[in-house]
C-alpha cells in the first residue's frame, strides 16, 4: 500500500517529515479542505506534492509567478515525477503538449496561473478531468484584507462551487488572523481546517537601525556578510542601480534587479544569483517570490516595507536551509511619510474601500511598533501573528538591551511646537522651530515669535528625530498624510503636553552611524562541524553539482541541496544502497546524478 511516508522516501529521499507536514497531509488525505500557514522553509510544497502522487485524479496547483512554477516543476522532474506546467513564458506548442500529458493522466500535477485557470475554456476542460485537488500557493493573495491582494486570485472562490468533490488546499507563509479567516471563507466557505504551524524562524537574526547615511550603513552591514549570497531591498529602480554600483566598488559581486530592466537581463541576473556563490542582488520587491534558493544568508532593507506581513515574507527568503542568516532594516521618518502616502494614494486611485485604508494604516503602525520596540523583536513579531515566545537572544534588542530613559521634557518641547504651529508642518520644520533655527521658512511663517521657539535648542536634531520616531510608534504623535505628513498630537500626546502623563523612550544614539557589528554566522553549523578532509570532499561535490546544474541550465539546488551534500560528505557512501540513505537522495535522483557523486567519493577514499 502506497503511503505518504513511502512516497517521501522513495521519491524525495527523506526518511521523515518535517514538523507540521504530517498534520497537513493527514487533513488532505482525509479529503478535508485546509489552509496551512507555515513559515518559509518549512516544506509547504511536500504537503501537497505527496498527496498528489497518491490521489487517483489530477492535482491542479495555482501559482502566481512563472519563475515559481518553473522552479517547482524542475525540482519535481529531477525526482522522477511526471508534472505539467502551462504559462505565458512557453510557446503554444509546448503548452499544448503539456496539457495533453495532463489530460491523458500521464502527469499527476498541473501548474497554472490563476488567470489561465479561471478562463471559461480552461475551467470546462478541467471539469472533464474530475480533479482530486486544487492547491492555492501564496494564498494570502486571495484575501481582500491581505497586504498583497490580487483580483485574479479573488476569482478562485468559484472553485468550491464548480468542483464540489475536489479538495482545496491553500498555503501561505504570512497571514494574520483576519486574513486567514478571509482566505478560508473565500476558498471553502470556512468549511475546512486552518492549520497554523508557527511563524518563528529562529535561525534569522533581527536588527533595526535608524537611518543616518543609507550607503554607509549598507556598506558596514555588508562587511559582516562578505562573500555570502543575499538580497538588498531598495524602494526605487534608481536606488537599486546606485546601491549595486556602490557595492561593486566595495568589492562585492552585486547586480541590480527591477521591473524596468530588459526581460532577458532580468532572467540572466536571476540565473546568476541562483548559480553563483556570493552573489548579491539589489532589488525592488519585484524580486523574491519566485526565488527558491535555500542558502540566502542575508536580507537587508534600505527602506521601510509596507507592513509587518510584507517584511516577514521578504526576510523569510533568507536561511531557508535552516542555517543562520542575518536580516536588518534601516529606516527613517521619511519612509513613514512615504508609506502612508502610498496607502492614501492607493485608495484614491482604486476602488479600495476606506476600511481597507484603515487596515493598511494599522498594519503600518504595527510595523513601526516593531521597529521601535525596546523588548525582544521576535516576541513583538510573533505576538502580531498571535503567538507567544520567550526572548530569542538572536535580535539586536536581546543582544544589546536598550536603556529606557526619561524623555518627558523633550517630547513636551516637540508637542508644544506642533501645537503652536497649528499642527500643519512635518518633522523637519518642527525640529527647526523647536531648536530655534534662523531659516527663511521659519521667518516666512513668523514662527520665531511663538512661545515654543528655541525651547529644544540644547537638543540635537538627530536626538529630536529619534524622539519623534519613537513617539510616532508609541501613538503620542500622528502623521496627517492629507496635509503632506504634518505631525499632529494624539490624546496620549496631549496628556504628556499637559503634564498628566510622563514619557520614557529608548536611549537615542546620536552618533552619525551605528557601530554595531552586523557580523553573523553565515555557514551552516553542520558544514562548520566537518573535518578538514570532509570539507575538501564537500568542495569537490559542490563543484560537480555546479557542473551538472550548468549542463541542465538549472539552479544548483535542483540537483542536490547543500544539506544533502554535507550529509554525503559525512557519510561517504560507497554503494547505491548507502547513497539512498543520504538525506534528500531519492531513487530517481540517484539514478540520474548519484553515480557521478559516488565516483568522487570513491576517488577521495
Rounded CA gap, 199 and 436, in Å?
Answer: 47
Residue 423: its pLDDT value, please?
Answer: 93
- Can you point out the beta strands (E) in 252-401? 253-257, 279-283, 298-301, 325-331
**325/341 Cα distance (integer angstroms):** 32
Distance CA 411, CA 503 (A): 8
Burial status of residue 553 (CB atoms within 10 A of its CB: 0-12, 13-18, 19 or more): exposed
With a cut of 80, say whether residue 526 has pLDDT above it: no
3-state secondary structure of 172: strand
- Closest of 8, 550, 67, 540 to residue 266, by C-alpha: 67
- The residues spanned by each domain of the chain are 4-196, 204-399, 404-506, 531-604
Find out if CATH 3.40.50.300 is the number for domain 204-399.
Answer: yes
CATH topology of domain 4-196: Rossmann fold (3.40.50)
pLDDT digits (tens, 9 = 90+) for 68-117: 788 889 889 999 999 999 998 889 999 999 999 999 999 999 999 898 99
CA distance 252 to 254: 6
Task: Please give the CATH topology (third level) of the domain spanning 404-506.
Answer: Arc Repressor Mutant, subunit A (1.10.10)
**Does pLDDT of 516 surpass 50?**
no
Top CATH class, 531-604:
mainly alpha
Cell of 89: 513564458
Q: What would the pLDDT profile of 169-215 be if each residue is shown by its tens digit?
A: 999 988 878 788 889 999 999 899 999 988 889 999 999 998 989 99
Span 323-353, pLDDT tens digits: 999 999 998 888 888 888 888 876 555 555 5
**Same topology between domain 404-506 and domain 531-604:** no
Only one residue has cell 496539457, namely 99
Cell numbers for 458: 540644547
524: closest CA among 558, 561, 560? 561
Task: Decide: pTM greater than 0.75.
Answer: no
Residue 501 has pLDDT above 50, yes or no: yes
Q: How far is CA 196 from CA 20, 169, 368, 575, in A?
A: 9, 13, 25, 41
Check: CB of residue 367 under 8 Å from CB of residue 308.
yes
Amino acid at each position: 500500500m502506497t503511503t505518504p511516508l513511502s512516497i517521501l522516501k522513495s521519491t524525495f529521499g527523506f526518511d521523515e517529515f518535517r514538523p507540521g507536514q504530517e498534520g497537513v497531509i493527514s487533513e488532505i488525505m482525509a479529503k478535508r479542505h485546509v489552509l496551512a500557514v507555515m513559515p518559509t522553509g518549512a516544506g509547504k510544497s511536500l504537503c501537497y506534492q505527496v498527496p498528489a502522487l497518491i490521489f487517483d485524479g489530477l492535482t491542479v496547483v495555482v501559482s502566481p509567478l512563472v519563475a515559481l512554477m518553473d522552479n517547482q516543476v524542475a525540482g519535481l522532474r529531477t525526482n522522477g515525477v511526471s508534472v505539467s506546467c502551462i504559462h505565458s513564458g512557453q510557446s503554444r506548442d509546448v503548452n499544448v503538449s503539456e496539457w495533453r500529458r495532463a489530460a491523458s493522466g500521464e502527469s499527476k500535477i498541473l501548474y497554472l496561473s490563476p488567470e489561465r485557470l479561471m478562463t471559461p475554456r480552461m475551467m470546462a476542460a478541467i471539469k472533464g478531468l474530475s480533479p482530486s485537488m486544487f492547491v492555492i500557493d501564496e494564498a494570502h493573495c486571495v484575501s481582500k484584507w491581505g497586504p498583497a491582494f490580487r483580483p485574479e486570485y479573488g476569482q478562485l472562490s468559484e472553485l468550491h462551487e464548480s468542483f464540489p468533490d475536489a479538495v482545496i488546499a491553500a498555503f501561505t507563509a504570512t497571514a494574520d488572523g483576519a486574513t486567514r479567516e478571509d482566505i478560508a471563507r473565500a476558498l471553502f466557505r470556512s468549511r475546512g481546517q486552518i492549520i497554523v504551524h508557527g511563524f518563528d524562524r529562529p535561525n534569522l537574526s533581527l536588527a533595526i537601525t535608524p537611518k543616518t547615511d543609507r550607503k554607509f550603513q549598507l556598506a558596514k552591514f555588508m562587511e559582516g556578510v562578505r562573500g555570502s549570497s543575499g538580497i538588498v531591498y531598495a524602494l526605487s529602480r534608481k536606488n537599486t542601480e546606485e546601491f549595486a554600483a556602490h557595492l561593486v566598488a566595495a568589492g562585492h559581486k552585486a547586480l541590480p534587479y527591477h521591473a524596468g530592466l530588459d526581460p532577458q537581463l532580468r532572467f540572466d541576473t536571476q540565473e546568476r544569483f541562483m548559480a553563483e556563490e556570493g552573489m548579491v542582488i539589489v532589488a525592488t520587491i519585484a524580486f523574491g517570490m519566485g526565488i527558491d534558493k535555500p542558502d540566502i544568508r542575508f536580507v537587508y532593507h534600505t527602506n521601510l516595507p509596507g507592513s509587518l506581513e510584507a517584511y516577514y515574507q521578504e526576510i523569510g527568503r533568507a536561511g531557508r536551509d535552516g542555517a543562520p542568516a542575518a536580516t536588518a532594516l534601516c529606516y527613517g521618518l521619511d519612509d513613514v511619510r512615504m508609506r502612508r502616502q502610498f496607502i492614501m494614494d492607493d485608495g484614491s486611485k482604486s476602488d479600495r474601500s476606506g476600511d481597507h485604508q484603515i487596515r493598511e494604516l494599522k498594519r503600518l503602525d504595527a510595523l513601526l511598533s516593531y521597529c521601535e520596540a525596546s523588548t525582544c523583536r521576535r516576541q513583538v513579531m510573533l505576538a502580531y501573528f498571535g503567538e507567544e515566545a520567550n526572548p530569542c537572544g538572536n535580535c539586536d534588542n536581546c543582544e544589546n538591551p536598550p536603556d529606557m530613559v526619561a524623555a518627558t521634557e523633550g517630547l513636551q518641547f516637540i508637542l508644544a511646537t506642533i501645537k503652536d504651529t497649528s499642527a500643519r508642518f512635518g518633522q523637519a520644520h518642527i525640529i527647526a522651530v523647536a531648536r530655534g533655527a534662523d531659516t527663511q521658512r521659519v521667518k516666512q511663517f513668523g514662527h520665531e515669535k511663538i512661545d515654543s521657539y528655541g525651547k529644544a535648542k540644547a537638543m540635537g536634531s538627530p536626538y529630536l528625530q529619534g524622539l519623534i520616531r519613537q513617539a510616532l510608534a508609541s501613538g503620542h504623535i500622528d502623521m496627517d498624510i492629507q496635509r503632506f505628513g504634518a505631525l499632529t498630537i494624539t490624546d496620549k500626546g496631549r496628556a504628556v503636553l499637559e503634564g498628566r502623563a510622563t514619557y520614557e523612550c529608548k536611549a537615542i544614539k546620536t552618533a552619525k552611524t551605528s557601530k554595531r557589528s552586523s557580523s553573523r554566522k553565515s555557514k551552516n553549523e553542520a558544514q562548520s562541524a566537518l573535518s578538514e578532509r570532509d570539507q575538501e570532499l564537500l568542495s569537490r561535490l559542490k563543484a560537480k553539482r555546479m557542473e551538472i546544474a550548468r549542463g541542465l541550465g538549472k539552479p544548483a539546488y535542483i540537483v542536490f541541496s547543500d544539506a544533502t551534500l554535507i550529509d554525503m560528505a559525512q557519510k561517504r557512501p560507497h554503494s547505491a544502497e548507502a547513497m539512498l540513505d543520504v538525506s534528500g537522495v531519492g531513487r530517481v535522483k540517484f539514478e540520474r546524478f548519484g553515480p557521478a557523486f559516488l565516483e568522487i567519493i570513491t576517488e577521495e577514499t
